Amino acid sequence: MSNVPVAVVTGSNKGIGLAIVRALCKQFPGDVYLTSRDPGRGQAAVAQLQEEGLRPLFHQLDIDDLQSIRALRDFLKEKYGGLNVLVNNAGIAFKVNDTTPFAIQAEVTLKTNFFGTKNVCTELLPLIKPYGRVVNVSSMVSSSALGRCSQELQKKFRSDTITEDELVQLMTKFVEDTKNSVHEKEGWPNTAYGVSKIGVTVLSRIQARMLNEKRKGDHILLNACCPGWVRTDMAGPNATKSPEEGAETPVYLALLPSNADAPHGQFVSDKTVRTW
Ligand code: NAP
């Protein structure tokens, strides 16, 4: 078994994830795994970084596929005995002019952004070693979408005692409510992406609390963040930040020094803790 520290970035064959891998290859003292659901796209991205003189490693990972997540988990367990840094970056968004029915957009978006991310956490968080760092890439859109939820939902999503099961029930209810065309009546905002990222931010707050309760002595720091508005296939060419600039906050959180005890359980953008 290798004692080398190891970092994994989900959805890193392009965009912000690729820029996070590039930065970690330069700054993280260990093995850095570029992961992709499609091995061809993943290997092409690895080759691109190799041409830049970097040495990322590759592992397949589709966060929609529990078998794929568990294969990575078993690989990390066997080869490294755990994991030091996990960046949950993989995500999807329908374009604003997409004509796919809203209920389908809700189901598909929540499936990857919330349920996929949650499944990766369920399988990989138990592997995180002492002083490990976990970064869940959410979005400022989670904050604006929260502001457009009913008071009752806002209270639940800001609660310091909400459980993961309760959050899963709420995210499931959103998808069901869109199918029955009652989501707005039920207090939800009209944004599937926004609700999925509320899920990611709230999940991060819950997971940080669980780490405090169960593994306080392990000094693990877990946060959600927004990379900013970044020029990628998702956000388009008019966004304000380059992928490298978008990677700055996630990388800052992934490389928080071992003597840091904060931020933890926070929502961070531009390296600054934001009020949830
Ligand atoms: P992107 O260029 O579209 O890249 C998304 C990445 O996620 C791709 O590598 C994609 O793989 C991967 N992915 C999607 N579904 C996956 C799955 N089921 N399993 C594994 N990988 C999957 O988007 P981006 O702008 O870099 O976004 C990265 C993260 O930042 C996302 O979580 C996004 O919501 C968040 N974010 C972005 C912005 C922005 O302005 N760009 C702002 C706020 C937050 P494929 O190539 O196979 O599709």
The dotted CATH code for 6-96+112-148+194-274 is 3.40.50.720
Dump pLDDT digits (tens) for 138-173: 999 999 999 999 999 999 999 999 999 999 999 999
Torsion sign (Cα): 135, 140, 145, 150: positive
Which of 8, 64, 92 for a ligand 1 pocket mutation test, highest count of atoms within 8 Å of Cβ? 92
Amino acid at 158: R
Domain boundaries, the chain: 6-96+112-148+194-274
What is the Å distance from ligand 1's center to 110 Cα? 13
Question: Which string of DSSP letters, residue by residue, matches 116-180?
Answer: IHHHHHHHHGGGEEEEEEEEEE--HHHHHHHHTS-HHHHHHHH-SS--HHHHHHHHHHHHHHHHT
**Cα–Cα distance, 150 to 161 (Å, whole number):** 19
Rounded to 5°, angle at Cα 79 from 37 and 82: 85
pLDDT at 1: 87
Token look-up 């002492």 returns 130
Q: Count Cβ atoms within 10 A of the Cβ of residue 264 and give its class: 0-12 exposed, 13-18 middle, 19 or more buried.
A: buried
Report the pocket of ligand 1 as residue ranges, CB < 6 Å. 10-11, 13-17, 36-38, 41, 61-64, 89-93, 112, 116, 137, 139, 226-227, 229-230, 232-235, 239
Looking at residue 88, the DSSP 8-state letter turns out to be: E
**276 residues of the chain, pLDDT tens digit each:** 889 999 999 999 999 999 999 999 999 999 999 999 999 999 999 999 999 999 999 999 999 999 999 999 999 999 999 999 999 999 999 999 999 999 999 999 999 999 999 999 999 999 999 999 999 999 999 999 999 999 999 999 999 999 999 999 999 999 999 999 999 999 999 999 999 999 999 999 999 999 999 999 999 999 999 999 999 999 999 999 999 999 999 999 999 999 999 999 999 999 999 999
C-beta separation of 264 from 222 below 8 A = yes
Residue 193: active-site member: yes
Q: Which of 80, 131, 193, 252 is catalytic?
A: 193
Contacting residues for 83 by C-beta, under 8 A, at least 6 apart: 6, 7, 8, 76, 124, 127, 128, 129, 132
What residue spans of the chain are helical by DSSP H? 15-27, 39-51, 66-80, 102-110, 117-124, 140-147, 151-158, 164-179, 192-214, 243-254
Torsion sign (Cα): 247, 248, 249, 251: positive
Contacting residues for 270 by C-beta, under 8 A, at least 6 apart: 228, 249
